[in-house]
């Protein structure tokens, strides 16, 4: 049996990056000039292969490590990802929690100060406009959502914000443009940051957020990420972004990583990619994200699409998100899924898994054929291949537990 590294090297980088790259190039189809993060030139200088992604020029991989090797390095060491293209906002005002609870399913009222939660913006039909991370601080909410949905999110939020303000609501939204967002992910990430701050981070829980000073640089640090590993997403001033990244990369346990590795890492972790696994026709119940809706919110509602979601909570759904292990060629986005010859769904994400040395996928199937162990078929290039419904994540999560 091939080792994980040999498995990764046995496949071309495009095998891992195809889904990301397809979405990247389609995102740039408008012909508009690509935006650049502060780290853009640093990526190029360090062998970054730049591609259009969600209107930005972003590294898909680096010359020193292929996508598969970068994936495996992250699973065993630590990697730095530039995620400065994400939409970061700061929400202030005494009614900030009330407003954000009206546009997301999160129970922010009962979220402890210094903690974060994954949530979703919903539409009137309960569909997911975008997924987002909300971090609650004493005087504000720090919110990060997807770069590819930035314009859509703001177009959705701003009229609702204006209407809320016109009714006397005290809330304000500011886009954070003077900071960059840098993620360090992997089992050795904490040791790297601990060395820089000179103290233990054992009490820093997964999904908590803090303001910290790292080597003289004022940062917002969240213990979170998009790889299934322990790690941090660190917001640093634009003027310090390059030097801060150099501090991280100077550690021999750390390498730069791009969009290609990020995509295969998040799929192994069972994490959704908006536009593939989530969209405005999909509710959080169908997506297996019921856990993002707090008990109080399930009972009280008060967010867009609450009636639809409450009905699904009570009466069930007709389709569900599942994980698959696929025999044969990798199953990609759009591949049909069959049960006993009947079309029952489609794949939304898929790739070879360097960690398990199997082909993994995510998709939606009709209720009743969603249980773990169910044998299905996936059509790839006109041929049906065996697939088994498999519980996600495909690899054990490495999140830090106190």
Binding site for substrate: which residues? 233
Residue 175 CA to residue 69 CA, distance in Å, equals: 35
**What are the residues whose beta carbons fall under 8 Å from the beta carbon of 45, sequence distance 6 or more?**
none
Residue 397 CA to residue 66 CA, distance in Å, equals: 23
238 secondary structure, DSSP code: G
Cα–Cα nearest to 352, from 320, 376, 372, 380? 380
113 secondary structure, DSSP code: T
Element (H, E) at 390: strand 383-390
Residue 128 CA to residue 161 CA, distance in Å, equals: 18
Q: How many CB atoms lie within 10 A of CB 22?
A: 13
Please report, in range form, the residues annotated as the binding site.
233
Cis peptide upstream of residue 39 (ω within 30 degrees of 0): no
Residue 178 CA to residue 23 CA, distance in Å, equals: 27
Helix (H, G, I), strand (E, B) or coil at 85: coil
Q: How many CB atoms lie within 10 A of CB 281?
A: 11
Take residue 299 and report the two structure tokens written for it: 């009972």
Q: Is 63 exposed, middle or buried (0-12, 13-18, 19+ CB in 10 A)?
A: exposed
**What's the distance, CA 221 to chain centroid?**
17
Q: How many CB atoms lie within 10 A of CB 65?
A: 22
Take residue 342 and report the two structure tokens written for it: 């009947």
């Amino acid at each position: 049996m091939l080792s994980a590294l040999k498995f990764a090297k046995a496949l071309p980088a495009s095998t891992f990056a195809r889904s990301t790259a397809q979405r990247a190039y389609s995102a740039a189809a408008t012909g508009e000039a690509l935006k650049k993060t502060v780290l853009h030139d640093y990526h190029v200088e360090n062998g970054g292969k730049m591609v259009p992604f969600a209107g930005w020029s972003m590294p898909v991989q680096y010359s020193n490590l292929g996508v598969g090797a970068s994936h495996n390095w992250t699973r065993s060491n630590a990697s730095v990802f530039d995620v400065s293209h994400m939409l970061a906002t700061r929400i202030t005002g005494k009614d900030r929690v009330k407003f954000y609870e009206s546009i997301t399913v999160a129970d922010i009222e009962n979220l402890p100060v210094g903690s974060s939660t994954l949530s979703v913006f919903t539409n009137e039909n309960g569909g997911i406009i975008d997924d987002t991370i909300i971090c609650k601080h004493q005087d504000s909410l720090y919110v990060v959502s997807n770069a590819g949905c930035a314009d859509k999110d703001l177009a959705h939020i701003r009229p609702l914000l204006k209407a809320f303000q016109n009714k006397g609501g005290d809330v304000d939204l500011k886009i954070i443009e003077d900071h960059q967002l840098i993620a360090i992910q992997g089992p050795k990430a904490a040791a790297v940051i601990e060395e820089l701050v000179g103290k233990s981070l054992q009490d820093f829980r997964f999904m908590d957020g803090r303001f910290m000073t790292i080597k003289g640089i004022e940062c917002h640090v969240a213990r979170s990420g998009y790889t299934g590993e322990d790690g941090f997403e660190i917001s640093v001033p634009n003027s310090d972004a390059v030097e801060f990244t150099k501090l991280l990369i100077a550690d021999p346990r750390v390498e730069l990583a791009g969009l290609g590795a990020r995509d295969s890492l998040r799929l192994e972790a069972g994490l959704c990619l908006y536009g593939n696994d989530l969209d405005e026709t999909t509710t959080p119940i169908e997506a297996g994200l019921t856990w993002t809706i707090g008990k109080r919110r399930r009972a009280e509602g008060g967010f867009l699409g609450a009636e639809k979601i409450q009905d699904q909570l009570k009466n069930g759904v007709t389709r569900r998100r599942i994980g698959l292990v696929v025999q044969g060629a990798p199953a990609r986005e759009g591949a049909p899924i069959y049960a006993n010859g009947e079309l029952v769904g489609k794949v939304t994400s898929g790739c070879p898994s360097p960690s398990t040395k199997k082909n993994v996928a995510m998709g939606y199937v009709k209720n009743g054929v969603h249980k773990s162990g169910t044998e299905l078929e996936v059509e790839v290039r006109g041929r049906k291949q065996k697939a088994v419904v498999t519980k996600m994540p495909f690899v054990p999560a490495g999140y830090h537990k106190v």
